[in-house]
Amino acid sequence: MDTTLTSRFASPRRRLRRAVFGLSVIGIGALALLDNLQVFGTPLLRTFWPLLFVFWGLARLAWPRHPASRVFGVVLVLVGGLMTAHNLGHASFDLRQWWPVFIILAGVAIALRGFFPSPRWDRRRFESSAIEHSDEVNVDATFGGIKLRNDSRSFKGGKIALTCGGLELDLREAVMDGPEATIHINASFSGIELRVPRDWQVSVQMSATLGAVEDKSMAPPAASHRLVLRGETIFGGVEIKN
């Protein structure tokens, strides 16, 4: 039997962040509907969708978790503002020329996390922790963190969907029933750490946009089981270990 883990929000701050995210989704739907009804002569969704970055950046500035959050918030506001101005014809902004700036700012954010550690965030990194025995992993989280251990005796794979979240998935005690299992991953602005048994071979068939998928697991000499990872990560990372 599949188990779905959804992150919970206990504090008012977390509920408010989730409300802002929901309102942003409503805004996208409203712009798309107005475009389909041709209420305005200007294509609203194609013109104003970068404002989502502005709202997201303002939220990171209003509720910072770490000094690096403020840097990330400022970047989001600037990028969203410049892209909106470009769509309106008031500025010229070519993302292909300026993408190295994001790498520089990412380095600044990482350095800030090193110089200004946040023990409180480390203690509350994972909002929920669980052990499950189901044959398939089914994780769906938004603005949250999950720590999950699976010890199925007949593991068959599963699905992972993350948006602005984090997942630590431990499969070292799981056993495959057949020669192959597949996990479909869709992660946006999220991080995933996956631990696999030493006798599993990992086959990464994922795409990464402004992110990375790193397989640090040790491949066995003669693997009898193979774990296939398919999907994509956007502004995020996936790390596989033994």
Which pLDDT score, from 0 to 100, does residue 125 have? Answer: 46
Residue 193 resides in a domain: yes
Kindly give, in sequence order, each residue whose CB lies less than 8 Å from that of residue 146, ignoring residues fewer than 6 positions away: 5, 7, 126, 127, 128, 129, 130, 139, 165, 166, 167, 168
**For residue 106, which of 78, 81, 136, 71 has the smallest C-alpha distance?**
71
Q: Which domain holds residue 165?
A: 125-241
Helix axes 95-115, 67-87, angle to 10 degrees: 170
Residue 3 resides in a domain: no
Which pLDDT score, from 0 to 100, does residue 234 have? Answer: 82
What mean pLDDT comes out for the span 45-73? 72
Number of Cβ within a 10 Å radius of residue 65: 14
pLDDT band at residue 131 under the 50/70/90 scheme: confident
Last residue of a domain, one of 98, 119, 140: 119
| Owner of token pair 């409300």 | 19
d(CA 142, CA 162): 6
Last residue of a domain, one of 119, 151, 168: 119
Do 192 and 225 share a domain, yes or no? Answer: yes
Do 134 and 230 share a domain, yes or no? Answer: yes
Average confidence score pLDDT of the chain: 76
Last residue of a domain, one of 104, 119, 134: 119
Structure tokens at 185: 């991953």
What mean pLDDT comes out for the span 106-115? 62
Judging by DSSP bridges, how do beta strands 166-170 and 225-234 pair with one another? unpaired
Are 166 and 142 in contact by the 8 Å Cβ rule? The answer is no
Which pLDDT score, from 0 to 100, does residue 159 have? Answer: 93
What mean pLDDT comes out for the span 105-118? 60
Do 105 and 149 share a domain, yes or no? Answer: no
pLDDT band at residue 11 under the 50/70/90 scheme: very low
pLDDT digits 0-9 by tens, 174-197: 999 889 999 999 988 788 999 999
Are 189 and 213 in contact by the 8 Å Cβ rule? The answer is no
Number of domains in the chain: 2
Which pLDDT score, from 0 to 100, does residue 173 have? Answer: 92
The percent of residues above 90 in pLDDT, for the chain, comes to 22
Do 66 and 141 share a domain, yes or no? Answer: no
Do 148 and 223 share a domain, yes or no? Answer: yes
Q: Which residue has the higher pLDDT, 56 or 3?
A: 56
pLDDT digits 0-9 by tens, 138-175: 988 776 778 899 999 999 999 998 887 788 999 999 99
